[in-house]
């Protein structure tokens, strides 16, 4: 079973850059999307529900902003949209699908930088992390859970090209990184780093200027975290930087 996550930076734009071909060629059973940035009825029918796929969306209330989705070959047994917290759910950041043997969450964690790049949204971001953690801890008591998405945090220095110059930037602040320390202390596994512990220069997001992607000056901020039961089933974890169409690239896992 292959489960993939991709921040598409606008699904309508990504659809014009080959999304449907990529979807069919990635050989995934489940694809989690972030930053859909569209209401479902704004998407072409062939994108909203491609032949052979079941889809579920959690859009933001604000047009053209945020939004997550799950595409699956098999219809989920149940889908939960949102965390039950209005200040988070209005932004369309969380969706959880239950399948026969695993639960899959697609999550778009907030940036903490704020409009003025003053890190003013860090408290909101940390509160969102706490709400997601409470929800997935509850879920893992029921069946194995994978939490896929754009976490908007590089956990360790190996996870970004320029850690020293970003030490005071949201996305690499100590309090943001400490959250992922807490998740791991509770048993959650960063599947890519578990399978590639010392591999440098593996990033999932690049700035759209300064030739950053061509020079591989990026950040690894897209993750698949797994509870212990799910992590035990992960055969491989991967990043696909060769797939374009967004400023992020897909990440995923293959499960037994």
Q: Show which residues are catalytic.
A: 150
Instruction: Give the residue among 152, 148, 107 at the shortest CA–CA distance from 5.
Output: 148
Cα–Cα distance, 222 to 239 (Å, whole number): 9
CB atoms inside a 10 Å sphere around CB 160:
23
Cα–Cα distance, 18 to 59 (Å, whole number): 22
Cα–Cα distance, 191 to 194 (Å, whole number): 5
Instruction: Give the residue among 116, 115, 149, 114 at the shortest CA–CA distance from 224.
Output: 149
Cα–Cα distance, 163 to 13 (Å, whole number): 31
On the 0-12 / 13-18 / 19+ scale of CB atoms within 10 A, 116 is: exposed
- H/E stretch holding 191: helix 191-195
Give the alpha-carbon dihedral of 4, 151, 12, 210, to 10 degrees.
Answer: -110
């Amino acid at each position: 079973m292959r489960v993939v996550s991709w921040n598409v930076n606008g699904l309508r734009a990504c659809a014009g850059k080959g999304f449907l071909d990529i979807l069919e060629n990635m050989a995934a059973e489940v694809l989690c999307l972030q930053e859909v940035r569209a209401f479902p009825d704004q998407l072409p029918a062939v994108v909203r529900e491609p032949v052979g796929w079941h889809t579920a969306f959690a859009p933001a209330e604000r047009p053209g902003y945020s939004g997550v989705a799950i595409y699956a070959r098999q219809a989920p047994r149940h889908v939960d949209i949102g965390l039950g917290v209005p200040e988070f759910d209005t932004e369309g950041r969380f969706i959880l699908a239950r399948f026969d043997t695993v639960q899959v969450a697609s999550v778009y964690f907030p940036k903490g930088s704020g409009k003025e790049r003053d890190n003013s949204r860090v408290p909101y971001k940390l509160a969102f992390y706490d709400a997601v953690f409470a929800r997935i801890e509850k879920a893992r008591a029921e069946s194995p859970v994978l939490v896929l998405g754009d976490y908007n945090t590089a956990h360790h220095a190996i996870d970004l090209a320029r850690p020293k110059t970003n030490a005071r930037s949201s996305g690499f602040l100590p309090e943001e990184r400490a959250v992922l320390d807490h998740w791991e202390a509770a048993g959650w596994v960063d599947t890519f780093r578990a399978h590639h512990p010392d591999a440098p220069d593996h990033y999932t997001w690049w700035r759209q200027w300064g030739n950053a992607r061509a020079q591989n000056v990026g950040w690894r901020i897209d993750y698949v975290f797994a509870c212990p039961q799910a992590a035990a089933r992960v055969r491989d974890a991967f990043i696909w930087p060769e797939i374009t169409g967004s400023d992020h690239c897909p990440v995923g896992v293959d499960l037994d």
